[in-house]
Structure 1
Amino acid sequence: MTMTKAPQRRLVVSIHDVSPTFEQPVDRLVDLIHPILGGQKFAMLVVPDHWGAAPLHRAPAFARRLRDWADAGVEMFLHGWFHRDDSEHRSAITALRARTMTAREGEFLGLDASEAERRMREGRDMVQDAIGRPVAGFIAPAWLYGAGAHAALRALDFPLAEDHMRVWQPRSGAVLARGPVVTWASRTRARTASSLAVAAAARVLPPVLPTMRVAVHPGDVTKPSLIRSIDRTLRTLVRHRTPARYTDLLGAAA
């Protein structure tokens, strides 16, 4: 009798907003997730110049740390340019998304294709110069993309991109993973409570999705309840899932 091999269940973890601005919180997050995942199978989303106040090329010590992490196997993604949304949103729907889904941090939601491409290209160059290798892909701040950002992604041929509901290849449009990202929010009590509830649900749901994605942010370290939830969630998920890299998805079905 032929035995059917069970499909692999993957766990993909990322640290967002990696910047000299947040060096200490990033260190705390690395110290938290590294032993749970059993190695460097996580991604860092690097902001080239967070809010225009932390240019990576003027922080050589931090850039060297990024290269060390990359050399050790951590995936490096470009994560916007400033991370700050400075667009004037003409669409009422887009303006509503910008206000409700993030605190002025959906940088690529309102950019036209030309400006989005410029920021992506210059940001990619800065991060790649720091890490000494190509970035794994592009992930927009707050997972928010406008039409211009999508056009720029295709023009620059980033290998991978991600929003809140999927991972895909920009050039072909092929979807590599589906399902919401488990993440936490520290901005308000209500958002914190909601994110804790979602994480608790994720811990008890059956492992149906082939790929589960988890994202942590520097602000998470400001609240002990979030740190406890992240720790418990990751420890629960690794019992049934194998820690994986985003690039592992290129050879796997969504």
Structure 2
Amino acid sequence: MPIRVICFDLDDTLWPIEPVIYHAEAQLHHWLCQHYPRIAAQFDPLTFRQLRQQLVEIQPQLSCDLTRLRKLSLAQAAAQVGYSDSLVEPAFEVFMAARHQVQLYDDVLPTLEKLHHHYLICAVTNGNADVRRLGLGHWFDAIFFAREVGAAKPHPALFEAVCHYAQAQPAQVVHIGDDAVCDIAGAAAVGMRTVWINRYPHKPWSGTILPDAMIHSLTELEKLLINWNTKESN
């Protein structure tokens, strides 16, 4: 079947995520120091990370809703030091504002501009970054969040949601991502074609399910898709 739908992971596929989260958590801690110092004194970014892990162990369903998880951790921290949970929403917005200060890889915008004219473009993420808030919404036809579907990659629900939305067979969808399990194994399990974006030339493959293709830059993607569709039409 010819490819109709291109599906992108976001974090570490369209931008590096580690510096973004580090900065966002630092900004949140700075804000807490100014407005809720008792929380800041007891909970630094590492302590909050440990608290979130404890919450996931108690409520595993939180692993697919990072927004709710972060809000619950803020509410619990507030309760422990005697603050009202009214701080949760403004504190979370401080985090989210910084969470969306991403630095796109250089190949992202040129690739989206080219592909948007020929394919349905979707984003699929376990995180809470929103391409619309990043000013990229006009390049995407839809975005699918794990928290809205109720399951995180590699669970098939997110990938099946893309197929349902696009009214496409899985073989007509290509998923591009950086993670061997969440992206490649997850998409392959529902029958999608998979492309591993490996931005580090010496990084070895760590998965058990091989991707249909590997690229080091999204600039390679258009040619790959044309070749696949040419073979399908012959």
Greater Rg over alpha carbons, structure: 2
Higher normalized strand content (fraction of residues): 1
Higher normalized helix content (fraction of residues): 2
TM-score, normalised to structure 2, is 0.36
TM-score, normalised to structure 1, is 0.34
